[in-house]
Amino acid sequence: MTQTLDATSTTARDRVDGWLSDFEQALAARDADRVAGLFAPTSFWRDLIAFTWNLTTVENRDGVADLVRASAEAAGAHGFHVTEEPTEADGVVEAWIGFETAVGQGRGHLRLTDEGAWTLLTTLYELKGYEEPQGEGRPTGVEHGVRPGRLSWKEAREAENAAMGSTAQPFVVVVGGGQGGIALGARLRQLGIPHVVVDRHPRPGDQWRSRYKSLCLHDPVWYDHLPYIDFPANWPVFAPKDKIGDWLEMYTKVMEINYWSSTTCTKAAYDAAEGEWTVVLDRGGEQVVLRPKQLVLATGMSGKPNVPAIPGQDRFRGDQHHSSRHPGPDAYAGKRAVVIGSNNSAHDICAALWEHGADVTMVQRSSTHVVKSDSLMDLGMKALYSESAVAAGITTQKADMTFASIPYRIMHEFQKPIYDAIRERDADFYRRLEEAGFLLDFGDDDSGLFLKYLRRGSGYYIDVGASELVANGDVKLAHGAVRELTEDAVVLEDGSRLPADVVVYATGYGSMNGWAADLISQEVADTVGKVWGLGSDTRKDPGPWEGEQRNMWKPTRQEGLWFHGGNLHQSRHYSLYLALQLKARCEGIPTPVYGVPETHHLA
């Protein structure tokens, strides 16, 4: 069945109301073909756990029909309605919608053309009976009256922490207490899920404090809020690392996250018969064993540092280290520094070394996408994440949902015009970089930074000044792979010799399932497969097409194992859906999962 909408005879509101009514009736009848007929021939339905208990996108009418056949009955979705007045532009009607499922409350977004639904986003944001205690449902904070043996808030928190791992067990253990683990920990606390977040550093935020001193966020403040607590109105647009570290430490305390610092996870194993993990921890030198039902690896989107094995590393007399362990530029004034790599960390480190009087050479091994920070903010992010967006009523939630409403398959169509405009605006900048010998790209399909990040998590630099040093020759540029290190130099494949007192390997990170191999087993890592990427079949993102980030924030092929991470925006947004999935399992709510992908790439 195919429905064609007459755009000339109805208002945008009429069209949306009519479509939602037909959609709900067809769902109630479990008529998958009728539902599919409400979608355009080329169409996309992105569901974040509302129907599928998964993060999944289906395409075109066949995909819609398959999702409905598998998920509609259990989902029990109903009560579809608009939540604000729809808009229409260029033949596309857009509407924000609300609905209910059998177990929760949902919200979403719809784009209609005269052929039917072009894109549909459905998300679950709340479980019935397990609503977060906020707003009118906030806790009183005190129990009035007189009761012998009453514990104060502080005493109750201390008792909870003391019991965990001895007389009580967490339902969830989160390994990794950076921004991702902390954001998820806040969600778990608000949902009443017994949890422990463990991290090897002495204090929350040390993951940021321990990095090179010039590090700062390249994303603007409006993009980087954590759940529940926004940065204050006087927070800098681009926060320095130590300020972020202090915010994370404060946030961990006030959100009452069960956070175990100075704690290293040494081993984890899953008992399928018991349906639980054995997680072995070194907590300040004491071995502690926890037995959670669910294990989340929140070790960052990038996984373990990639340190290349290069002949001669053992005989090099200077300092050499990965960028993740770079101490900063202070000790290298007047030294010869060679930085291998040409992405964000490489540029930041080169700039700081140059500022402190080092002789700096950047080794570019492959092309890099560069975008000026001001241009990215003005043309790429301003509409959703900016002070003007806030003034226009674009809340963080609405911005996140708008971004989420664009299916990954067609996101490049939305991004390419932005980067075409950026290339025109900054044409002289790019010309000077290329004349200096810098190898530029805008992604495999000219779609720019966001797609590069989503596909491979690397290959780009948001320019905050270092590119000028490359363009004018203050930071020297070399090209190619490294053949060997001598006692005092880096030698490239073409025989070029770069004298060096320090070598920094700004060579990126591996897949997150490298941590699964180390902590659990290679077998489990291979069962799960590659983490991150879309399957776009572009450089460093091999196919087949996945439609969503591989294995992130959703069920994996290892029971009870989850991955969480990404930038601050993703840590905030997707922690909600991961926390709801964990809460449903904690409370015994059925979670029939649709669309767990096959494993195509090993660890």
pLDDT band at 575 (very low <50, low <70, confident <90, very high): very high
- Yes or no: say if 324 and 508 are a contact pair by the CB < 8 Å rule: no
CB atoms within 10 A of CB 559: 13
Percent of the chain with pLDDT over 70: 98
Query: Which of 156-170, 258-272, 357-371 has the least mean pLDDT?
Result: 156-170
pLDDT for 199 beyond 60? yes
Q: What pLDDT does 301 receive?
A: 58
- H or E element in which residue 476 lies: strand 476-479
Q: Say what the alpha-carbon torsion angle 232, 238, 244, 246 is, to the nearest 10 degrees.
A: -60
Q: In what order do the strands lie in the sheet with 172-175?
A: 259-260, 195-198, 172-175, 294-297, 561-563
Q: What pLDDT does 6 receive?
A: 46
- What b-and-e string marks burial along 240-258, b requiring 16 or more CB atoms within 10 Å of the CB? ebebbbbbbbebbeebebb
pLDDT for 5 beyond 70? no
Task: Determine the Cα–Cα distance for residues 479 and 503; give it in Å rounded to an integer.
Answer: 15
Dig out the tokens for 381 from the structure: 């992010």
Model confidence pLDDT, tens digit, residues 292-341: 999 999 987 556 788 999 999 999 999 999 998 999 899 999 999 999 99
Task: Determine the Cα–Cα distance for residues 473 and 364; give it in Å rounded to an integer.
Answer: 14
pLDDT for 56 beyond 90? yes
Mean pLDDT of 373-393: 96
CB atoms within 10 A of CB 416: 17
Q: Is 487 exposed, middle or buried (0-12, 13-18, 19+ CB in 10 A)?
A: exposed
Task: Determine the Cα–Cα distance for residues 25 and 372; give it in Å rounded to an integer.
Answer: 49
- What residues contact 378, with CB distance under 8 A and at least 6 apart? none
- H or E element in which residue 127 lies: strand 116-127
Q: What pLDDT does 511 receive?
A: 74
Q: What pLDDT does 1 receive?
A: 40
Task: Determine the Cα–Cα distance for residues 498 and 490; give it in Å rounded to an integer.
Answer: 5
What is the full DSSP assignment across 226-293? PSS-PPPTTS-SS-BHHHHHHHHHHHHHHTT--EE-SEEEEEEEEETTTTEEEEEEEETTEEEEE--S
Give the orientation angle of helix 411-425 with respect to helix 427-435, to 10 degrees: 80
Q: What pLDDT does 302 receive?
A: 56
Query: Three-state DSSP class for 351?
Result: helix
- Yes or no: say if 264 and 282 are a contact pair by the CB < 8 Å rule: yes
Mean pLDDT of 250-272: 97
Task: Determine the Cα–Cα distance for residues 488 and 139; give it in Å rounded to an integer.
Answer: 64
Q: What pLDDT does 303 receive?
A: 61
* DSSP-assigned beta bridge partners for residue 39: 117
Mean pLDDT of 564-576: 95
Percent of the chain with pLDDT over 90: 87
Single-letter residue type at 26: A
Task: Determine the Cα–Cα distance for residues 560 and 562; give it in Å rounded to an integer.
Answer: 7
- Yes or no: say if 390 and 222 are a contact pair by the CB < 8 Å rule: yes
Cis peptide before 544 (omega within 30 of 0): yes
Residue 462 to residues 459, 532, 552, Cα–Cα distance (Å): 11, 21, 24
Model confidence pLDDT, tens digit, residues 473-509: 999 999 999 999 999 999 999 999 999 999 999 998 8
- What residues contact 336, with CB distance under 8 A and at least 6 apart? 358, 359, 361, 499, 500, 501, 502
268 φ/ψ angles, rounded to the nearest 5 degrees: -145, 140
Task: Determine the Cα–Cα distance for residues 449 and 415; give it in Å rounded to an integer.
Answer: 9
Task: Give the closest residue to 74 by CA, choosing from 95, 40, 102.
Answer: 102
CB atoms within 10 A of CB 299: 27
Q: What pLDDT does 296 receive?
A: 98
Task: Determine the Cα–Cα distance for residues 376 and 217; give it in Å rounded to an integer.
Answer: 14
Dig out the tokens for 269 from the structure: 């194993």
- Mean of pLDDT over the chain: 94
Mean pLDDT of 165-171: 93
Dig out the tokens for 521 from the structure: 């087993």
Query: Three-state DSSP class for 592?
Result: coil
Q: What pLDDT does 473 receive?
A: 96
Query: Three-state DSSP class for 499?
Result: strand
- Yes or no: say if 9 and 41 are a contact pair by the CB < 8 Å rule: no
pLDDT for 455 beyond 70? yes
- Yes or no: say if 199 and 181 are a contact pair by the CB < 8 Å rule: yes
Mean pLDDT of 458-468: 94
Residue 443 to residues 78, 131, 141, 454, Cα–Cα distance (Å): 41, 42, 52, 11
Q: Which residue has the higher pLDDT, 510 or 240?
A: 240
Residue 383 to residues 32, 349, 379, Cα–Cα distance (Å): 37, 31, 8
